[in-house]
Chains A and B, each alone.
Chain A
Amino acid sequence: MAKYILRRLGFMALTMLLVSIAIFTISELAPGDVARHILGQFATPEQVELMRNQMGLNQPVYVRYVDWLVGNDWRLNGLVGKPLKQYKATTFGDLNWWAAEPDGTLKQWKVKKGVGLVEVRVTPGGEPEEIPFDGWQVDENGEEVFWGVDTASHVVLWRRSSTEQKVGPASAGRAMTEASGERYYPIRKGLLRGDPGISQRTNKPVAPTLARRLRNSFTLAGIAFLIIMPLALLFGILAGLQEGSRMDRVISVLSLITTSVPEFASGVFLILVFAFWLKLLPGAAVYASDIAPWKDPKLLILPVLTLTLVEIGYVTRMTRASMIEVMNAPYIRTAYLKGLPYWRIVFKHAVRNALMAPITVIMLHVNWLVGGIVVVESVFGYPGLGLYLLDSALFKDINAIEAGAMVMVALAVGTQLIADILYTFLNPRIRYT
């Protein structure tokens, strides 16, 4: 069993690797690029080129993939000549990359208008201070150049002649605080070392946003799940007790109808009824950025209800099918012939066996649940993982897409594994080796 789980985990890692490579490749082949998205319609080709340079998009795709996967600070060390370290200089600032001196001081460099290159220096615990810069080195062409770390976590090649004249086109976009360097390499820690990078759409680190979005989606799906399961199992068992009875037909048709109505349509119906005509509930679920969704439960009602409507029919039908199968099994007939009371046959013999299939199959259903969540979140503007992924995909924000996709694939493959393991416990006849 341990061997089997290990093999499955290996398969999961392999799947995630393949998926991440596929996404990188596809986004490379796809038309349009994120630099253009960030700068907007009216940016000049020069500005776009500058942006691409800053974002490291001019490097070959395999270099960017490896950087994304395992990071590149260990590779870029050599250019700067000092080890690179992450450090948070001010309380509200971001975690940035700095070049570390042997004595523990950390350094960054930036271009100041009218001054040229200056050095920003900080000792751990202290306040950052700016001091004049005099570290120019002479390259093979006799020009004065310098490799350093800028304030936005790039390793940059500066050339003295250009830093003193040129200051970046600050109006072109929020990320272009400096455009004075000649070459830019964004420093990455790499996904395998726990850093999914910075979202190009929001210009913020992916990890905290993703965690918050994941929490919101789990809240939504979790509440829906708690409502769906008991109801669906109850309806499924009632319908499956007697195939073809009136109760069965009503439940079957109703569950078929609710699963057939797309989430965006049922969401719209619910908004119209409860928000527009009855004016009972808010018609959207828009939260202030950091508020946890359970602190404003009224906003959650309609999204949860939409998700419930779509999913409940599926689970009901699964349970019904399983129940019908069990009720036709020989051991149920035996129980009848032994003269056991009906309720005892149902509860002791039928239901327990009938629940085995739906419980495991529901785990496999996560793939579709995820799809439903994307649509529900999009209908209500609910800040969950699905909406994050959708927005990122439309923006071609590769770091966010990759991170979101990895979470989703891990969830999908992981739940399948759990379902298989669960099944061996529920059904001792199955053994995996």
Chain B
Amino acid sequence: MTMDAQTASDRKRNMRRLSPTELKRPKESLRDRMSIILRSRVAIIGLVIVLFWVWVAIFAPVISVHDPLAQDATAINQGPSAQYLLGTDALGRDVLARLAYGSRTILMLAPLSVLAAVIVGTFLGLVGGYFGGLVDEIVMRILDAIMAFPTILLYLIIIAAIGPSAINVVIAITFVGAPGVARLVRSLALDIRVRDYIRAAELRGESPWYIMFFEILPNARGPLIIDSMLRVGYAIFAIGTLGFLGLGLPPPTPDWGGMISAARKYIWTNPLSVLWPALAISSLVVGLNLFADGLREESTRYQ
């Protein structure tokens, strides 16, 4: 659960450095943005790792010879062999196939849950930040109460209540992540709403919703995008943790966290089958964070 805390602090720095200049800066071309990425070696390494897993996810059916759910009773808990390149698990399923299909699960769920959290959080943050007053007070107090919860407790309670499934994992991560997004968007909205072009829009007689979503939101997108990228890494971390604790996807689905907790029991007889998924999820989160962090460093350095 460390990632969110770290990003929270980084976010603070980020906002302070980004928002004033970001808002005035003319639009960057795609080429400018690419050159920012390419300037940071760390970001490139991160990007390569992430792209590797995206490639695995896309070509999962090609990479895996075996069905990720097919059980081979003659090959239970085996080490790597010619038939099963990374070995098999306790039910005789191909670890390679489960890894490949597991990357699909996690790479689909993580961005989805971040997207949901960003949508909910943005909405709440804009409403609170733009309207202010009592609305803001109520929204922020509720979000504060949610954020006072230890994150893991929230996950436990939510998943225990609605049961483990793919969509419920997304709901839980949205619920836990949205308050952070809302705080960020609110502070940006508070900053932006006193600007002249918002006054102008108000004088034109635009509706509050138009101002929120077409005047404020586009101007808050810089910090929001970087925050979201860091959140994807955190979401993968969280999905893995939920899977490991038995709160993730129900058993037959290939899921890295679940694979680790299942193989953990057989670590003395088949140590490699727990190593692979652990390496997989670590490399993916590390890759994403290296990429997001490198990007952030580079985009704030030359301003």
A residues near B, CB below 8 A? 15, 18-19, 22-23, 26-27, 29-31, 253, 256-257, 259-266, 268-269, 271-272, 276, 283, 310-311, 313-314, 317-318, 321, 361, 364-368, 370-372, 374-375, 378-379, 386, 389-390, 393-394, 396, 401, 405, 408-409, 411-413, 416
CB distance B245 to A378 under 8 Å?
Answer: yes
**With A261-B282, A375-B241, A412-B149 in contact, do A365 and B5 touch (Cβ < 8 Å)?**
yes
CB distance A371 to B150 under 8 Å?
Answer: yes
B42, B145, B153, B285 — most chain A CB neighbours (10 Å): B153
Which chain A residues lie closer than 8 Å to B237 at the CB level?
Answer: 260, 262
Contact of A260 among B1, B163, B260, B289 (CB under 8 A): B289
CB distance B150 to A375 under 8 Å?
Answer: no
CA distance A405 to B150 in the complex (A): 9
Complex: chain A residue closest to B257, CB-CB: A264
Contact of A30 among B162, B268, B282 (CB under 8 A): B162
CB distance B264 to A368 under 8 Å?
Answer: no
CA distance A385 to B225 in the complex (A): 37
For B142-186 the 0/1 string (1 means CB < 8 A from A) is: 000100111111001110111100000000000000000000000
CA distance A265 to B261 in the complex (A): 10
For B230-247 the 0/1 string (1 means CB < 8 A from A) is: 000100010011001110
Which chain A residues lie closer than 8 Å to B289 at the CB level?
Answer: 256, 259-260
Say yes or no for B274: interface residue by CB 8 A criterion.
yes
CB distance A310 to B5 under 8 Å?
Answer: no
CA distance A261 to B13 in the complex (A): 23
CB distance A260 to B157 under 8 Å?
Answer: no
Complex: chain A residue closest to B301, CB-CB: A244
CB distance A314 to B281 under 8 Å?
Answer: no
B250-268: which have CB < 8 Å to A? 257, 260-261, 264, 267-268
Say yes or no for B9: interface residue by CB 8 A criterion.
yes
Contact of B246 among A22, A276, A313, A394 (CB under 8 A): A394
CB distance A276 to B268 under 8 Å?
Answer: yes
Complex: chain B residue closest to A404, CB-CB: B153
**With A268-B274, A374-B245 in contact, do A19 and B149 touch (Cβ < 8 Å)?**
yes
Complex: chain B residue closest to A325, CB-CB: B13
**With A276-B267, A370-B150 in contact, do A26 and B157 touch (Cβ < 8 Å)?**
yes
Known pairs A30-B161, A367-B1 / 18 extra A-B pairs, C-beta < 8 Å: A256-B290, A256-B293, A260-B286, A264-B260, A265-B240, A265-B260, A268-B274, A317-B6, A361-B9, A368-B4, A368-B5, A374-B152, A375-B152, A378-B244, A378-B245, A394-B246, A409-B148, A411-B150
CB distance B285 to A260 under 8 Å?
Answer: yes
CA distance A374 to B160 in the complex (A): 16
**With A264-B244, A265-B260, A375-B244 in contact, do A368 and B278 touch (Cβ < 8 Å)?**
no
Say yes or no for B10: interface residue by CB 8 A criterion.
yes
B residues near A, CB below 8 A? 1-6, 9-10, 13, 42, 145, 148-153, 156-158, 160-163, 233, 237, 240-241, 244-246, 257, 260-261, 264, 267-268, 271, 274-275, 278-279, 281-282, 285-286, 288-290, 293
Which chain B residues lie closer than 8 Å to A314 at the CB level?
Answer: 2, 5-6
CA distance A260 to B232 in the complex (A): 12
CB distance A264 to B278 under 8 Å?
Answer: yes
CB distance A367 to B151 under 8 Å?
Answer: yes
Which chain B residues lie closer than 8 Å to A411 at the CB level?
Answer: 150
CB distance B149 to A268 under 8 Å?
Answer: no
CB distance B264 to A268 under 8 Å?
Answer: yes
CB distance A269 to B6 under 8 Å?
Answer: no
Complex: chain B residue closest to A312, CB-CB: B2
CB distance B260 to A368 under 8 Å?
Answer: no
CB distance A368 to B157 under 8 Å?
Answer: no
CB distance B6 to A15 under 8 Å?
Answer: no
CA distance A305 to B267 in the complex (A): 19
**With A260-B285, A378-B245 in contact, do A268 and B150 touch (Cβ < 8 Å)?**
no
Which chain B residues lie closer than 8 Å to A15 at the CB level?
Answer: 145, 148
Which chain B residues lie closer than 8 Å to A18 at the CB level?
Answer: 145
27 pairs from A and B in contact (CB 8 Å cutoff): A15-B145, A18-B145, A26-B157, A30-B162, A30-B163, A31-B163, A253-B42, A256-B286, A257-B290, A260-B237, A260-B289, A262-B240, A268-B274, A269-B275, A269-B278, A271-B267, A276-B267, A283-B267, A317-B6, A318-B6, A318-B9, A368-B5, A370-B152, A374-B245, A378-B245, A405-B153, A412-B150
CB distance B264 to A379 under 8 Å?
Answer: yes
Complex: chain A residue closest to B152, CB-CB: A371
Complex: chain B residue closest to A310, CB-CB: B2
CB distance A394 to B160 under 8 Å?
Answer: yes
Complex: chain B residue closest to A381, CB-CB: B264
Which chain A residues lie closer than 8 Å to B279 at the CB level?
Answer: 265
CA distance A317 to B9 in the complex (A): 9
Which chain B residues lie closer than 8 Å to A372 at the CB level?
Answer: 1-2
CA distance A379 to B158 in the complex (A): 22
A29, A259, A310, A371 — most chain B CB neighbours (10 Å): A371
CA distance A9 to B255 in the complex (A): 42
Complex: chain B residue closest to A358, CB-CB: B9
CB distance A412 to B148 under 8 Å?
Answer: yes
CA distance A276 to B282 in the complex (A): 20
A242 to chain B, nearest CB (A): 15
**With A18-B145, A409-B148 in contact, do A27 and B290 touch (Cβ < 8 Å)?**
no
CB distance B281 to A262 under 8 Å?
Answer: yes
Which chain A residues lie closer than 8 Å to B4 at the CB level?
Answer: 368
**With A260-B3, A321-B13, A394-B160 in contact, do A368 and B151 touch (Cβ < 8 Å)?**
yes
CB distance B148 to A375 under 8 Å?
Answer: no
B13, B150, B267, B293 — most chain A CB neighbours (10 Å): B150
**With A31-B163, A379-B264 in contact, do A261 and B285 touch (Cβ < 8 Å)?**
yes
Which chain B residues lie closer than 8 Å to A256 at the CB level?
Answer: 286, 289-290, 293
Which chain A residues lie closer than 8 Å to B13 at the CB level?
Answer: 321
Which chain A residues lie closer than 8 Å to B157 at the CB level?
Answer: 22-23, 26, 393, 401, 405
**With A271-B267, A375-B245 in contact, do A261 and B286 touch (Cβ < 8 Å)?**
yes
Contact of A268 among B152, B260, B290 (CB under 8 A): B260
B45 to chain A, nearest CB (A): 9
Closest 8 pairs (CB-CB, A-B): A371-B1, A371-B152, A265-B278, A26-B161, A370-B150, A368-B1, A30-B161, A393-B156
Which chain A residues lie closer than 8 Å to B281 at the CB level?
Answer: 262, 265
CA distance A223 to B264 in the complex (A): 25
**With A368-B4, A368-B151 in contact, do A268 and B278 touch (Cβ < 8 Å)?**
yes
